[in-house]
Amino acid sequence: MVAVWLGVAVLGGVGAVLRFLVDRTVSHRLSGAFPSGIFVVNISGALVLGLLAGLELGPTTALLAGVALLGAYTTFSTWMLQTLELGTDRRVGLATANIVVSLALGIAAAALGWWIGMRL
């Protein structure tokens, strides 16, 4: 049990650092009003989580990879805050696009990952 707790702590930290690095890298390369960094983080996280689900991992591995690593990597709260900020900046089109496109591509990425995982 202690090893699982330590794994959650370590992998959660790794996921958070990866989110920071991917967000910053993408945001610098695709500057603009649209929050492209967190968008890429969340879509890539959905793809990998779908892949892990398709692989049908054991419960401990699923916990460590899905909850700890990917749970810390992806972020619902930052996505919603950025969407709110777009709305308060009167960029309603971008705010709406952030919600609709994130949901559509997130579901598609998770489904694609699951499909790939089931075939591995």
CA distances from 113 to 36, 38, 58, 62, 69 (A): 21, 19, 17, 15, 16
Would the pLDDT of 1 be above 90?
no
pTM (global) more than 0.85: yes
Mean pLDDT of 29-40: 96
Give percent above pLDDT 90 in the chain. Answer: 99
Mean pLDDT of 35-43: 98
Ramachandran bin of 35, using left for φ above 0, alpha for ψ from -120 to 50, beta for the remaining angles: beta
Mean pLDDT of 84-105: 97
Task: List the one residue out of 63, 65, 49, 24 whose CA is nearest residue 113.
Answer: 49
Query: What is the band of 10 on the pLDDT scale with cuts at 50, 70, 90?
Result: very high
Residue type present at position 90 = R
* Structure-block tokens of residue 8: 């959650």
Mean pLDDT of 93-102: 98
* Structure-block tokens of residue 73: 């990597």
13 is in an annotated binding site: no
74 is in an annotated binding site: yes
pLDDT of residue 52: 96
Q: Give the number of other CB atoms < 10 A from CB of residue 81.
A: 13
CA distances from 80 to 27, 42, 45, 83, 86 (A): 17, 12, 16, 5, 10
